[in-house]
Structure 1
Amino acid sequence: MTQRSGLALAVLSLLTEAPLHPYRMQQLIRERGKDDVVNVGQRSQLYKTIDRLARDGLITEHVTERESARPERTVYTVTAAGREVAEEWVRDMLAAPRPDFPEFLAALAHLAGLRPDDAANALGSRLDVLRRRLGAARASYDAVAGVLPRVVVVELEYSITMLEAESSWVAALVSDLRDGRLTWNRAELERLAEAQLHRTV
């Protein structure tokens, strides 16, 4: 069974609309703003995904095109099995959250490895990035709201909600760090950690 991924789902979904060659798939993902959802920055990863889907019978070669002096392009189409798998993946991905172990949570779990002022500065930089992304996401949404059907931009609604929540939380954490409401002594924490390591059960 093909390994499930956002990129594999994007390929299957595009091919349910029409037969396409890989370059056009990459273009459409970007044109529709879905490159915020799936990573198509490296075309090699797209080709690997296409190869896996074809190997597993979820897509198949439709035709080979050649335009003037350009190299040949293979156009793919989705199979009946591919349509079924795409529906199954969407259903499962909506219904069951999967742990993705984000780096940010790992960094928060080791926040005490920094001095409070250092942590505040790093989080302040993150907050600047989050606010820029939130502004861009809101602008993108405003540009299409009322023009496109809501069903094709619900992921943008979700992204805006998540960015708003994270920005608010990080801003409060930075404030707590800078005002001294959250602080720690690294030497004391290291002594506690050493004592825990040597604790006998």
Structure 2
Amino acid sequence: MAHQLTSLGISVLALLRERPMHGYEMLQTLSDRQADRIVRVRPGSLYHTVERLTGQRLIRRAARGRDGNRPERVVYEITDAGVEALAERVRELVATPVNEYPQFTVALAEIDNLDPDSAVHALDSRVVALEAGVAEMTAQRNAGIAPGLSPIVLEYLLAITQAEVTWLRQCATSLRSGRWSWPATARPETVTDSGSEVQT
């Protein structure tokens, strides 16, 4: 059975499969590779992940090193169990769709809490932000300078972002034209207390 590795856990194991590293080097490498496009990277969460993986014996302390006058740092390396867990978890995640509960879907489900003009403005703002990301990723792809992002990941991010932009534009157009009717505000529920109606 696959270890329930977090996204950051997968990233840490993948880094250590390349070579042993200390915690700060992992952080710097993830930053240099723009890993924040695909995983949330924070110093505290990374060091917590390293400790958890060590406790699970998927990685181990390999050595202690010092760089100049800097404090001594623990260097970690992946274990055979870590290599196996990494491959198993990646295989599982690629093969099996799961509901990841994105926040944007929650917001869409409740978008009728905005007035139509505010909703359309919010959708337009999201389109502008996503288009900037598409332009940046396209430029990196065309110049061959997307650091650390494999071509398959970059193409996937571009494809899903472009698809979202297309859908958002259609959604905003439908709201503007009235093709999608805006739900009427729900009437307050009434409950009966001693035979009289009370609004809640």
Q: TM-score, normalised by structure 2?
A: 0.87
What is the Cα deviation at residue 26 of structure 1? Answer: 1.4
Q: Match for residue 163 of structure 1?
A: 161
Deviates more, 1:135-144 or 1:81-90: 135-144
What is the Cα deviation at residue 136 of structure 1? Answer: 1.2
4+ aligned runs moved over 4 Å, structure 1: none
For structure 2, list consecutive stretches of 5 or more residues without a partner in the other structure: 191-200
What is the Cα deviation at residue 14 of structure 1? Answer: 1.0
Q: Quick check: 1:25 aligned with 2:38?
A: no
For structure 1, list consecutive stretches of 5 or more residues without a partner in the other structure: 196-201
Deviates more, 1:64-73 or 1:26-35: 26-35
Separation of aligned partners in 2, 1:25 and 1:185: 49
Instruction: Please tell me the residue identity of whatever aligns with 1:26.
Output: L
Separation of aligned partners in 2, 1:163 and 1:86: 27
- What pairs up with 1:151-190 in 2 under 5 angstroms? 152-184=150-182, 186-187=184-185, 190=186
Instruction: Please tell me the residue identity of whatever aligns with 2:168.
Output: V
Instruction: Please tell me the residue identity of whatever aligns with 1:39.
Output: R
- What pairs up with 1:68-87 in 2 under 5 angstroms? 68-87=68-87
SS of alignment partner, residue 67 of structure 1: coil
Q: Quick check: 1:92 aligned with 2:53?
A: no
Q: TM-score, normalised by structure 1?
A: 0.86
CA RMSD of aligned residues (A): 2.3
**How many percent identity over aligned positions?**
36
What is the Cα deviation at residue 19 of structure 1? Answer: 0.7
- What pairs up with 1:1-201 in 2 under 5 angstroms? 3-40=4-41, 42-144=42-144, 152-184=150-182, 186-187=184-185, 190-191=186-187, 194=189
